[in-house]
Amino acid sequence: MRLLPRLTFAEWLTIAAVLAGLAALAFLGDSATATRRELERRARTWTKGPLATLSDPSLLAPDVDLSGQWVNRGRRSHAFFRFTERAPGSFDVLFSTGGCLGRCELTRTAEFKEGVLTLDGAVAEYAPRTYDTLYVIRLNAREYLLPAVSVAEFECELAAATDRWKQYLFTRLEASDARPYAP
Within-domain flag for 55: yes
Across 157-168, average pLDDT: 93
The better pLDDT of the pair 20, 88 is held by 88
What total of structural domains would you count in the chain? Answer: 1
The pLDDT score that the predictor gives to residue 34 is: 83
The pLDDT score that the predictor gives to residue 177 is: 61
Within-domain flag for 78: yes
Within-domain flag for 3: no
Helix (H), strand (E) at residue 53: none
Q: What is the CATH number of the domain that holds 169?
A: 2.40.128
Q: What is the mean pLDDT of the chain?
A: 89
Whether 180 has a pLDDT exceeding 60, the answer reads: no
Within-domain flag for 182: no
Within-domain flag for 92: yes
The pLDDT score that the predictor gives to residue 88 is: 95
The gap from C-alpha 80 to its chain's centroid, in whole angstroms, comes to: 7
The pLDDT score that the predictor gives to residue 26 is: 67
The better pLDDT of the pair 156, 3 is held by 156
DSSP state of 23: H
The pLDDT score that the predictor gives to residue 7 is: 84
pTM comes to 0.81
Q: Which of 17-26, 43-52, 81-90, 160-169 has the lowest mean pLDDT?
A: 17-26
Q: Quick one: pLDDT band at residue 161, thresholds 50, 70, 90?
A: very high
Which among 63, 65, 73 is positioned nearest to 181, based on CA atoms? 73
pLDDT per position as a tens digit, 23-77: 766 666 667 788 888 899 999 999 999 999 999 999 999 999 999 999 999 888 9
The whole domain housing 136 covers 8-175
pLDDT per position as a tens digit, 102-151: 888 999 999 999 999 999 999 999 988 999 999 999 999 999 999 999 99
